[in-house]
Amino acid sequence: MTILYFYQYFSTPQGSWGTRVFEFAKRWSEKGDKIIVVTSIYDKSDLTSSGLSQDFSFNGVDVKVLNIKISNKQPKLQRIWTFIWYSILSSYYAVTIKADVVIASSGPITAGIPGLVAKFLRGRKLIFEVRDMWPEGAIQMGLISNPLLIKLAYKFERLCYKSSKKIVALSPGMENEIKEKGFNNVISVPNASDNDVFSRNTDDFVTPEWMKGKKVFLYTGNIGKVNNSFLIVHAAQLLKDDPDILFLFIGDGQQRDEILEYIRINQINNIRILGLMPKNDLVAFVQRAYIMLVPLEGKPILDTSSPNKLFDAMAAGIPVIQTTQGWIKTLLIENNCGFTVPYNNPEALAEVCTSIANNLELRNQMGLNSKKLATTEFERGYLSEKMRKTILEVVNNE
């Protein structure tokens, strides 16, 4: 079958971003499917484009890269414009490319526009993939406040759901939210653990001097408000006299420079911040971490999130400390593979860090439990096949 996939943030493992679409599409291609991804240039990906668009092929996956640059550092209006511009340009491919099924992957929810164009103008079967609960997340985070825009956004969300043969949610929390909106044609296919990637041998890695002998509490990804990055900084400040604990950020984002200045002014010497790095280079740092930190802002909609770093930690067999109050909290409790702390309480985070740093046996057992989840419930091959079966059902049912 031919699958046309609209996703604005595509990346391969050479980039510094999640590779769900690449990894799924690569496996589908190996089964004989033809996958065409239409994407743009995210500053954390490894893509480029000359001219208005450029064609690439990665492991049998055809990728059309629109020359639209997007970054979390862009002002709000500029980011909104990139969403709109992508939806307009990608609609050309929605009309001109033949496909058995179209997948529109949100967020942003504007990715639904080319999906709807393909459905209503070309009669394509549509699957809507929900990565974030838009527009609810944008509203709770204050990105959308105009009452008319909010009303229109909800109407567009319902149109995307109603027009889809199937809705694929990236977490059980999102699945429940969508069902509460009255749509039962939804399944959960969470982000997955790349066990082959995070289990590979990295003995040739040269451990930096500043890491040696330290218990590294690692954060990877966007450094910003939504990710509650200052929670880690304030916890580190409380523990700056502990010689054994090191907090390591690997990533970039809106608050990176602000955090660096705060560290300098307050002379916090137990934090290191490294820049973005390809996923393949990240592996050695994750494997050598003591704990993975997965903080988010205390917004109810974020309780449905499915952060990649959670699954990377599981694949590497290390526990996590996180802040959401939804399905991840339940998962950690039921499987004894991590801790949940309040999103606004650095003292609680510092206390948990100290406690687990002094209990290597518990940390190791949680790591084993985490690895078990990665190789069963969240294994990449298993989840990619689950989604492919869903796609086949849509294609084969008239």
Assigned token pair, 369: 């439990």
Whole-number Å distance between alpha carbons of 14 and 163: 35
Res 322: pLDDT: 98
Number of Cβ within 10 Å of residue 50's Cβ equals 8
The answer to whether 117 and 86 are in contact (CB under 8 A) is no
Residues in a beta bridge with 219: 249
Segment 60-78 mean pLDDT: 91
At which residue do the structure tokens 């949680």 appear?
366
Each domain of the chain, given as residue ranges in start order, spans: 2-192+379-396, 195-375
Segment 242-260 mean pLDDT: 95
Pairing of strands 245-252, 271-274: parallel
The CA angle 125-126-129, to the nearest 5 degrees, is 155
* 245-252, strands of its sheet edge to edge: 271-274, 245-252, 215-222, 291-294, 320-322, 338-340
The answer to whether 159 and 192 are in contact (CB under 8 A) is no
- Name the residue among 247, 362, 252, 383 with its Cα closest to residue 315: 383
Res 398: pLDDT: 62
pLDDT digit string, tens, across residues 164-223: 999 999 999 999 999 999 999 999 999 999 998 998 899 999 999 999 999 999 999 999
pLDDT digit string, tens, across residues 19-35: 999 999 999 999 999 99
Whole-number Å distance between alpha carbons of 68 and 58: 20
The answer to whether 104 and 129 are in contact (CB under 8 A) is yes
Segment 316-339 mean pLDDT: 97
Segment 85-93 mean pLDDT: 96
Res 303: pLDDT: 95
* 166-169, strands of its sheet edge to edge: 53-58, 61-70, 34-42, 2-6, 101-106, 125-130, 166-169, 186-188
Sign for the CA dihedral angle at 99, 47, 8, 51 comes to: negative
The answer to whether 157 and 196 are in contact (CB under 8 A) is no
pLDDT cut 90: percent of the chain above it: 85
In the CATH scheme, what is the homologous superfamily, with its name and number, of domain 195-375? Glycogen Phosphorylase B; (3.40.50.2000)
Same fold flag, 2-192+379-396 and 195-375: yes
In the CATH scheme, what is the homologous superfamily, with its name and number, of domain 2-192+379-396? Glycogen Phosphorylase B; (3.40.50.2000)
- The secondary structure of 358-385 as a DSSP string is T-HHHHHHHHHHHHHHHHTTTBHHHHHH
Assigned token pair, 325: 């109050």
Q: Which residue has the higher pLDDT, 122 or 141?
A: 122
- What's the chain's average pLDDT? 94
Segment 338-355 mean pLDDT: 98
Whole-number Å distance between alpha carbons of 168 and 185: 9
Segment 343-365 mean pLDDT: 97
pLDDT digit string, tens, across residues 283-316: 999 999 999 999 999 999 999 999 999 999 999 9
pLDDT at 248 over 90: yes
Number of Cβ within 10 Å of residue 74's Cβ equals 15
Res 339: pLDDT: 98
The answer to whether 380 and 189 are in contact (CB under 8 A) is no
At which residue do the structure tokens 């990715």 appear?
111
